[in-house]
Amino acid sequence: MRTEWKLFSYLALFMLPLGVVYAILSKEEAGALLLIATVIAFAFIGIYLMMQSRRMDGLRPEDHDATIADGAGEVGSFPVGSVWPFVAASGITLMAFGLVFNGFLAVPGFALVIGSVIGMARETELGQIGHPDLDSMADAAVDPGEGFSDQVKK
């Protein structure tokens, strides 16, 4: 992680004089603030990565010539296909329209975003409820000539 924290720290150091020179020469506040915010963001990431690299003992599998098995670990569980990201995007779009055109559009947009967050949390909490467990549906005496979809239909 040494390379990563140095990269972000050097980017922050590179952007700092650019932001200062831009603020002095342009007399424009928005661009100068954005450049300074960029410096702060790069510095924040660089400091975080530096702290993490000091906590680690030894090299990561990515830091040397490692085999694929060296980097293997628990993959985790991933949620199934869901409608909630679409609902959240629709709510955020309505909120943005509400900020631009009419504040009353932001209210249903906010409700959609809150509802989608709750829906995503409930869906993750409930796990695989409502989704068939394909392993338990597979028959022990399956003809090897059958395809996977034929086994699921049984």
Residue 72 belongs to a domain:
no
pLDDT of 91 reads: 96
DSSP letters for 9-61 = HHHHHHHHHHHHHHHHHH--HHHHHHHHHHHHHHHHHHHHHHHHHHH--S--G
Three-state DSSP class for residue 142: coil
Give the structural domain span for 85: 78-154
Same domain for 91 and 42: no
pLDDT of 54 reads: 85
Same domain for 48 and 12: yes
Residue 71 belongs to a domain:
no
pLDDT of 151 reads: 47
Element (H, E) at 86: helix 84-100
Residue 67 belongs to a domain:
no
Task: Judge whether 87 and 108 are in contact, CB under 8 Å.
Answer: no
pLDDT of 122 reads: 84
Number of domains into which the chain is organized: 2
* Chain CA centroid to CA 92, Å: 17
Same domain for 22 and 58: yes
Splitting the chain (154 residues) into consecutive groups of 10 residues, what average pLDDT does each group show? 87 94 90 94 94 79 65 66 92 93 90 94 65 54 52 50
CB-count exposure of residue 42 (10 Å: 0-12, 13-18, 19+): buried
Same domain for 98 and 38: no
First to last CA, the chain: 51
Same domain for 100 and 49: no
pLDDT of 71 reads: 64
